[in-house]
């Protein structure tokens, strides 16, 4: 966990919402010099901060509307710190909780050097990253619909499906003939219709992303593609979710951010389990999980290694180990600018 340690004359805590932003300003001695609920408007915010410039820093908790505030501060050369929402337990732990109290706590954390920082993602890449995330959401929704069709067959004890419904050619009208109840037939028809619609939308997004996504680092993109199982979409996902590998000083930092390792809890020499499962990038975790499954299919040495690991540790643990190995390989591949080496990968 990184905390903001910059020293300033004024510290601005902003409890940001869609339409309002409660703003609290502390001076370097800890005295409150401004405390007001402002509209979420750039001009109102800049006018309120005018008496305290130039030596100030703005801190806000990471929520869905932080983009515009970070961009506004960047345009006006105002230092901005994005607070990591899951690390900010202090502002949620009090007996009373209001926007005014939260803003004051944010300012206090900034002044005390205890403000946990998130990553302020570059403005130029946000829209493409968000589009990749939207595609990923559509893929998951489509998978749920496919699972419902298969589960409905099991629910009514119908003969097992011999072909994968993932492919449109296998989703024939004969599927409905397996069910006689009108309500069940309508349910399956609705599922199949939505699956077809998702197929069209996902294909449309991919046709746009592959040629139009701005690849600032084509060399790294090409190196990522040398790893079996990492195609153009997964490669773009890794590029846009990581942004720059220099963010992570050690492989362990990267694996932790990607949710590929467990964080131990110990006290007085006793293990208290693990924690922080939701801290990190869920999209990177998904990307490495997909890459692991695809690598097993496309690379025979990895498939053989996986079979040996399954006998020793079970499938679930073996998959987790493979995902972590891929994450470590991506880190070193990016850092050292070298192609993927299967022998080194399996022996490492």
Residue 96 to residue 169: CA distance in whole angstroms: 58
Where does the chain have alpha helices with state H? 42-49, 66-75, 99-112, 123-155, 182-212, 218-224, 232-242, 251-257, 282-298, 300-313, 315-336, 342-347
Structure-block tokens of residue 296: 């097993």
> pTM for this structure?
0.85
- The average confidence (pLDDT) of the chain is 91
Question: pLDDT digits over 196-214, tens only?
Answer: 999 999 999 999 988 877 7
In this structure, the number of other CB atoms found within 10 A of the CB of residue 159 comes to 7
Mean pLDDT to the nearest integer, 166-190: 89
C-beta of residue 11 within 8 angstroms of C-beta of residue 107: yes
Residue 29 above 90 pLDDT? yes
**3-state DSSP assignment of residue 272:** strand
Residue 143 to residue 149: CA distance in whole angstroms: 10
Percent of the chain with pLDDT over 90: 73
> Which of these ranges, 137-146, 165-174, 295-304, 320-329, has the smallest mean pLDDT?
165-174
Every domain of the chain and the residues it spans: 3-116, 125-214, 219-263+275-347
Q: Which CATH number, 3.30.420.10, 2.40.50.60, 3.10.110.10, 1.10.1040.10, labels domain 3-116? A: 3.30.420.10
Which residues, in sequence order, are CB contacts of 181 under 8 Å at separation 6+? none
C-beta of residue 259 within 8 angstroms of C-beta of residue 285: yes
Spatial CA neighbour of 332 closest among 235, 233, 248: 248
pLDDT band at 186 (very low <50, low <70, confident <90, very high): very high
Structure-block tokens of residue 56: 């100030």
Question: pLDDT digits over 209-230, tens only?
Answer: 888 777 778 899 999 999 999 9
Spatial CA neighbour of 12 closest among 83, 65, 75, 84: 83
């Amino acid at each position: 966990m990184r905390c903001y340690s910059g020293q300033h004359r004024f510290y601005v805590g902003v409890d940001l919402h869609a339409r309002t932003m409660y703003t609290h300003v502390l001076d370097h001695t800890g005295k409150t010099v401004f405390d007001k609920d402002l509209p979420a408007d750039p001009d109102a915010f800049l006018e309120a901060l005018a008496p305290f410039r130039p030596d100030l820093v703005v801190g806000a908790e990471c929520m869905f509307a932080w983009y515009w505030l970070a961009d506004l501060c960047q345009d006006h050369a105002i230092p901005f710190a994005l607070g990591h929402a899951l690390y900010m337990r202090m502002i949620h732990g009090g007996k009373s909780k209001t926007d005014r109290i939260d803003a004051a706590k944010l300012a206090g954390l900034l002044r005390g050097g205890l403000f946990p920082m998130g990553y302020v993602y570059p403005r130029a890449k946000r829209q493409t990253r968000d589009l990749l995330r939207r595609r990923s959401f559509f893929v998951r929704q489509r998978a749920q619909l496919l699972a419902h069709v298969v589960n409905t067959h099991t629910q009514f004890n119908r003969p097992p499906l011999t072909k994968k419904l993932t492919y449109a050619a296998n989703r024939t009208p004969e599927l409905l003939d397996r069910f006689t109840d009108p309500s069940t037939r309508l349910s399956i028809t609705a599922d199949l219709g939505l699956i077809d619609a998702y197929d069209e939308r996902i294909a449309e997004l991919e046709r746009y992303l592959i040629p139009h996504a701005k690849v600032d680092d084509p060399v790294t993109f090409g190196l990522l593609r040398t790893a079996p199982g990492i195609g153009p979409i997964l490669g773009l996902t890794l590029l846009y979710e990581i942004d720059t590998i220099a963010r992570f000083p050690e492989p362990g930092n990267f694996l932790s951010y990607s949710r590929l390792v467990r964080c131990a809890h110990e006290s007085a020499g006793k293990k208290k389990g693990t924690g922080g499962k939701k801290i990190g990038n869920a999209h990177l975790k998904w990307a490495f999980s997909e890459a692991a499954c695809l690598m097993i299919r496309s690379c025979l040495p990895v498939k053989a290694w996986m079979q040996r690991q399954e006998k020793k540790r079970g499938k679930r643990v073996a998959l987790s180990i493979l995902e972590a190995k891929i994450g470590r390989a991506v880190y070193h591949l990016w850092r050292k600018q070298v192609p993927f080496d299967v022998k080194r990968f399996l022996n490492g």
